[in-house]
């Protein structure tokens, strides 16, 4: 599949998918506290998404068993919610969710503190979010994809963090994953030229230690190889001739 330019009608639908997902994330963020299980987060998320008249896009995607990916501490992404996984004070938790509104997708992730966390963990969460905003400064018609990728990497590495290379962002639209791939690290080639109407999910995954990751035996959960903390921040964005529009953020 090649990179598509969305029509005004498609953009409107993606705006609504994004608005709803932003609201879902805000409500999920308010539910995060010591004592909640990762399964309860998933159940709340699914209820919220369906309550807005959307379909949770992750549910059954390639066999993924839940609506919200809930990844704790050294889990990078795609953690599987479980009733016995209880969040405790000092944890960090990444929530990744996607919704479908009238056939169009949005995809976004946030990392939250559980109660009070170490200042180093706060900084990891903040820098991961900032690396997204640093990247999208270059997300503009006429620039190249690698401008975004390089900027994310350069920013996160200034803090000595490991930028995950085994998973990447992606185009998004009538499918959750469309072309192009959106790496969070510099490529040898400058990549496609960005055009107004492209929609991308930009999603830095940043480790406090090394960039190396491994897959658990559940075939989903991605963890840091060195056991260090990992944070994730993602939004669905629309490329324009000027500033990008962040569809999944209020
Ligand atoms: N946001 C994730 C991504 O872009 C989606 C999780 S994959 C799923 O890859 F299987 F969990 F849905
Ligand atoms: Co994504």
- From first CA to last CA, the distance across the chain in angstroms is 31
For residues 91 and 74, give the distance between their C-alpha atoms in angstroms, rounded to a whole number.
10
pLDDT digits over 40-72, tens only?
Answer: 999 999 999 999 999 999 999 999 999 999 999
- Nearest atom (ligand 1) to Cα of 201: 4
Coil, helix or strand for 94? Answer: strand
Ligand 1 atom 5 nearest Cα? 58
pTM for the model stands at 0.98
> Which DSSP string corresponds to 193-242?
BP-TT-EEEE--EEESS-S-EEE-TTSS-EEETT---EEE-BEEEE--SS
* Residue with CA nearest ligand 1 atom 12: 58
* CA gap 208, 130 in Å, rounded: 15
What separation in angstroms does the CA of 134 have from each of 90, 199, 208? 27, 17, 18
Do 172 and 201 form a contact (C-beta atoms < 8 A)? yes
- Which atom from ligand 1 is nearest to the alpha carbon of 62? 10
Task: Identify the three-state secondary structure at position 67.
Answer: coil
For a pLDDT cut of 90, what percent of the chain falls above it? 100
Tell me how long the chain is: 250
Query: How does DSSP assign 4-51, residue by residue?
Result: -PPPHHHHHHHHHHHHHHHHHHHHHHHH--TT-BHHHHHHHHHHHHHH
Does 1 have pLDDT greater than 90? no
DSSP structural state of residue 178: E
* Average pLDDT of the residues in 112-127: 98
The phi and psi torsions of 44 (rounded to 5 degrees) equal -65, -45
Sheet holding 222-224, edge to edge: 75-77, 222-224, 213-215
* Ligand 1 proximity of 107 Cβ (cutoff 6 Å): yes
* Per-residue pLDDT tens digits for 134-154: 999 999 999 999 999 999 999
- pLDDT score at 155: 99
**Residue 221 pLDDT level (bands cut at 50, 70, 90):** very high
Beta strands in 102-194 (DSSP E): 104-113, 162-163, 169-171, 178-182
Which ligand has an atom closest to residue 237 CA? 2
| C-beta of 233 in contact with ligand 1 (< 6 A) | no
Q: What whole-number distance in Å separates Cα of residue 87 and Cα of residue 93? A: 8
Contacts of 211 (CB under 8 A, 6+ apart): 162, 163, 164, 165
């Amino acid at each position: 599949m090649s990179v598509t330019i969305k029509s005004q009608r498609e953009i409107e639908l993606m705006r609504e998918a994004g608005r709803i997902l932003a609201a879902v994330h805000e409500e999920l963020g308010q539910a995060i506290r010591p004592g909640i299980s990762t399964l309860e987060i998933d159940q709340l998320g699914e209820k919220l998404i369906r309550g807005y008249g959307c379909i949770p896009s992750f549910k059954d995607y390639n066999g993924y068993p839940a609506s919200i990916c809930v990844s704790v501490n050294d889990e990078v992404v795609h953690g599987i919610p479980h009733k016995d996984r209880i969040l405790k004070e000092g944890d960090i938790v990444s929530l990744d969710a996607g919704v479908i509104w009238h056939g169009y997708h949005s995809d976004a992730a946030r990392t939250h503190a559980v109660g009070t966390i170490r200042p180093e963990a706060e900084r990891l969460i903040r820098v991961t979010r900032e690396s997204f905003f640093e990247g999208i400064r270059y997300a503009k018609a006429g620039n190249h994809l690698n401008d975004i990728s390089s900027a994310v990497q350069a920013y996160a590495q200034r803090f000595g963090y490991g930028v995950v290379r085994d998973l990447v962002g992606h185009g998004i639209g009538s499918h959750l994953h469309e072309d192009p791939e959106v790496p969070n690290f510099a490529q040898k080639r400058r990549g496609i030229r960005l055009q107004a109407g492209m929609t991308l999910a930009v999603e830095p995954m940043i480790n406090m230690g090394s960039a190396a990751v491994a897959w658990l035996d559940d075939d989903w959960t991605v963890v840091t190889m060195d056991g260090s903390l990992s944070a994730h921040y993602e939004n669905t964005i629309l490329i324009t001739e000027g500033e990008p529009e962040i569809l999944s953020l209020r």
